[in-house]
Amino acid sequence: MKVDESSLTSSQPHVCATVLEQLAKDTGYELLPDLLAIFIADLEQRLFVIEHSPPKTSLCWQQQLHPLKSTSATYGAMRLSDYTQALEQRCKQQVNDDYCESLEFKNGIENLRNELCSVIQSYKSYLSQLQQNPAASCQQDM
Amino acid sequence: MVEDTLAMAALYQAYLKDEAYELRHVDTGAKAIEFIKAQQPDIILLDLHLPDMSGMEILTHVQEHYSACSVVVMTAHGSVDVAVEAMRLGATDYLAKPISAERLKVTLKNISKLHQLDLLVENYHKEFKRKQFQGFIGSSMAMQSVYRVIESAAPSKASVFITGESGTGKELCAQAIHELSSRKAQPLITLNCAAIPSELMESEIFGHVKGAFTGAFSNRKGAAELADGGTLFLDELCEMDLSLQSKLLRFIQTGYFQRVGESRLRKVDVRFISATNREPLKEVEQGRFREDLYYRLHVLPVHLPPLRERSEDVIEISEYFLEALSREEQKNFQGFSAQAKAKLLQYQWPGNIRQLQNTLHQLVVIYDSTIVEAEMLALDISVNNQRQNEQNLSKLEAIKPEIECKSEVVPLLLVEKRAIEHAIEYCEGNIVKAAALLEVNPSTVYRKLQSWKQKGLIE
C-alpha cells in the first residue's frame, strides 16, 4: 500500500484564499500578517526538523505530522494538510518502525519536504503582497 | 490555553481578542499543571497532543483536583473516539480542528453561562441551605422552612404565635424574630406565664404603684412598659389565668394599660410574640384560652418541629454541643463513634434539644475521652422504642379485625388473612407500610398473598 499521493497532484492550491479571507474577517485584517508570519515560522521549523533531525519511529513521525495537518488546514494550506493526513494515517497503520526506513515512506517524506518548501514560498509571496497592499488582500488562490 | 503549536495559539488569541476573557497560554503539559495549580482557571482549552504528556493526563488531573474547572478538548478533525474518551473523562466540550472563531466563542460563552449558573445555585444553596441561623443549628428541610418564616415575620409588626414541644427552641425563635426586626435596638422582654404565680402576673405585665398591694413598697414598671418600642415575649401563654387574659386582650387591642393600683392610662408601642407547648386551638375548645385572644395573637404562626422530625440535624447539633461543652468543661472530646451516632439517631428525643444538650453535658462532665462511645450516652433506647411501639399499637388498634369482637371461633388462617388484608386496605395498598404496622417483614406479606392466591383464597 502506498501513500496516497493524489492529494499532491490534486488541483488544491498551496494557499486557499477563501480560508485566509475568513481568518482575516475573524481576527481582523490588521492581525493577519502577524499570524501568517508566525505560521511561516512554524512551517520552517518543521521543515528544519525533517531535514536535519527526522524522527526515528513511526510514533514520533505521527507526533510531527499531526500538528502540521491541523495547522496547515487552519491557515488554508489545504494540499499540504491533505498530504500530511495521508502520511499520518500510513504511520498509524504501521506497527513496525522499520516502515520509517522503507523507500516508500522516505519518498513520502521527500514529497512532504518539497511540498513544505513550496508552501513556505507561496505564503511568503502572499504575505509580501499583503504587506505591500494591506487594503486589498489577495483574493486569489496561489 | 494549552497548545504547543504557536501558530494555533496565536490564532485562538486573535479570535478572542475582543472578548471579555483573560486568556493565558502555555505550550507544555508540565507548564499547564503548574499554571492550573497556581491560577485555577475557570476554563481550560486543551490540545491533546503535547510534547511532554498526553492532554488526557491533564484532563484526568484536573478532574481529580479541580472539579470546578471546565475543560474544552481541542481534537483533530475526525478523532471522534478521542473526543468521546475525553467527554467520558469529564471534558465539558470538545472542538474539532480546524476551529472556527464562531465555534470557539459560542463554546466559551456557553461554559461561562454554566459557570454563572453554578455560582447562582451556590449562592442560593448558601442562602437556602443554612446550617445555622440566629442561634438555631440544623440544615434539615423542616428548619429551612422555619428560618424563612422567621425572616418573613421579623420585619412586620404583626403578632407572632410560636408553637412547639418543650425544648424545641421557642425562646430562641422569639429572640431571632426580635433581632431581625427594626426593634432590635429596643428591649426584648420575656415573661414566662407558667413561672409566675397568677396573683402576681398582672403586676408583672402592667407594673404597680406604691401601696397597690401588700409588699408593693415602690412604683414598679411592668413588662409592657419595659418593652416599649421593643418586643414583649409571652412564653407559655396558655398557662395564663382567664381573668388576666381579658386584660391582656384589651391591652393588645388598644395599646393602653394601667399599672396595678393606678387609674391613669398609659400607652406603649409593643410587638407581641407568644409561645406555647400546648395545642392552642384545643385549649380554646376546652375553654382554657380565650378565642378572641387567640385570634389577636395568632397572626403569624411559627411551628417548631420536634427533634425526632429533623433527625438529619441530630448529629450536627450534637457535634456543636459537644465542642461547646467540651470547651466549657475543659475536656478534649473530638467527636462521636459510629455506634454513638447510630444511638443518637435511633433515639426519639421526647425532651428535644434541651434533652440532647443535657445528655451531652452529662457525659462531658462524667467521662474523659476524645471520642464519645455509644455506652457513654445515657439513653434508654428500649424504653424509647417501647413508647414508639405503643404508638404503633394504638394505630393497629384502629385496624384491629372485627373478629376479635365476636365470640365465634374462626380458623387461625382466616384470622391472619383478615388482619393482613385489613392492614393493606388501611395503608391504601402499600404493602411495605402494612408490613411495618403488622411488625413483619414485607416479604412475609408478599409470601402470604402468593400462597392464598395459589390456594384460590384470593384473586
pLDDT, position A8:
56
Which pTM was predicted?
0.50
Could you say which residues from 14 to 53 on chain A have a Cβ atom under 8 Å away from some Cβ of chain B? 22-23, 26-28, 31, 34-35, 38-39, 41-42
pLDDT, position B1:
96
Mean pLDDT, consecutive 10-residue stretches, chain B (459 aa), reads: 94 93 94 94 93 91 90 80 89 90 95 90 74 91 92 95 95 96 95 87 93 88 95 94 91 92 93 95 92 94 94 92 95 93 90 94 94 90 61 54 54 82 81 76 79 76
B contact set with A (CB within 8 A): 4-8, 10-11, 14-15, 17, 49, 51, 76-77, 97-102
Residue-averaged pLDDT of chain A: 85
- Going B287 to B291 to B294 to B300, the CA torsion angle's sign is positive
Query: What is the pLDDT confidence band of residue A125, given thresholds at 50, 70 and 90?
Result: very high
A31: nearest CA partner in chain B: B14
Q: pLDDT tens-digit profile of A26-68?
A: 998 889 999 999 999 999 999 999 999 888 888 888 888 989 9
CB contact under 8 A, B7 and A35: yes
Three-state SS sequence of B425-455: HHCCCCHHHHHHHHCCCHHHHHHHHHHHHHC
A35 closest CB neighbour out of B10, B98, B99: B10
Could you say which residues from 49 to 78 on chain A have a Cβ atom under 8 Å away from some Cβ of chain B? 63, 66-67, 69-71, 73-75
ipTM above 0.95, yes or no: no
- Give one word for A71, left, alpha or beta, with left for phi > 0 and alpha for psi -120 to 50: alpha
CB contact under 8 A, A26 and B101: yes
User: For the residues of chain A, what is the DSSP string, one character each?
Assistant: ----THHHHSS--SS-HHHHHHHHHHH-TTTHHHHHHHHHHHHHHHHHHHHHS--SSHHHHHHHHHHHHHHHHHTT-HHHHHHHHHHHHHHHH---GGGGGSHHHHHHHHHHHHHHHHHHHHHHHHHHHHHH-SSS---S--
Looking at residue A8, its amino acid is: L
| C-alpha grid cell, residue B434 | 402494612
List helix spans (H) across B163-269. Answer: 170-179, 198-206, 223-226, 242-254
CA distance B19 to chain A (A): 12
CA distance A20 to chain B (A): 12
Measured from the Cβ of residue B376, the count of other Cβ atoms closer than 10 Å reads 21
Chain B residues within an 8 Å CB radius of A73: 77, 97-98
B97: nearest CA partner in chain A: A70
pLDDT, position B2:
96
- Give one word for B40, left, alpha or beta, with left for phi > 0 and alpha for psi -120 to 50: left
How far is residue B2's CA from residue B58's CA, in Å, rounded to a whole number? 10
CA B132 to chain centroid: 9
pLDDT, position B385:
59
Kindly tell me if the per-residue pLDDT of A137 is higher than 70.
Answer: no
Query: What is the pLDDT confidence band of residue A1, given thresholds at 50, 70 and 90?
Result: very low
CB contact under 8 A, B97 and A73: yes
CA distance B155 to chain A (A): 55
Q: State the angle between helix axes of A78-93 and A58-74 in degrees (0 to 180), rounded to the nearest 10.
A: 160
A26 closest CB neighbour out of B5, B15, B49: B15
CB contact under 8 A, A73 and B49: no
Question: How far are the Cα atoms of B242, B251, B258 from residue B255, in angstroms, in the given order?
Answer: 19, 5, 10
> Taking a C-beta distance cutoff of 8 angstroms, is the pair B307, B136 a contact?
no
Strand B231-235 relative to strand B188-192, pairing: parallel
pLDDT, position B107:
95
Chain B residues within an 8 Å CB radius of A67: 4-5, 8, 49
Chain B residues within an 8 Å CB radius of A38: 6-7, 10
Chain B residues within an 8 Å CB radius of A75: 7, 11
CB contact under 8 A, B5 and A42: yes
Given the C-alpha cell 389577636, which residue does it identify?
Answer: B296
CA distance A102 to chain B (A): 26
How far is residue B195's CA from residue B353's CA, in Å, rounded to a whole number? 21
Segment A75-86 mean pLDDT: 92
CB contact under 8 A, B14 and A42: no
CA distance B98 to chain A (A): 5
Strand-pair partners of B94: B73
pLDDT, position B387:
60
A71 closest CB neighbour out of B8, B17, B102: B8
pLDDT, position B49:
86
pLDDT, position B77:
59
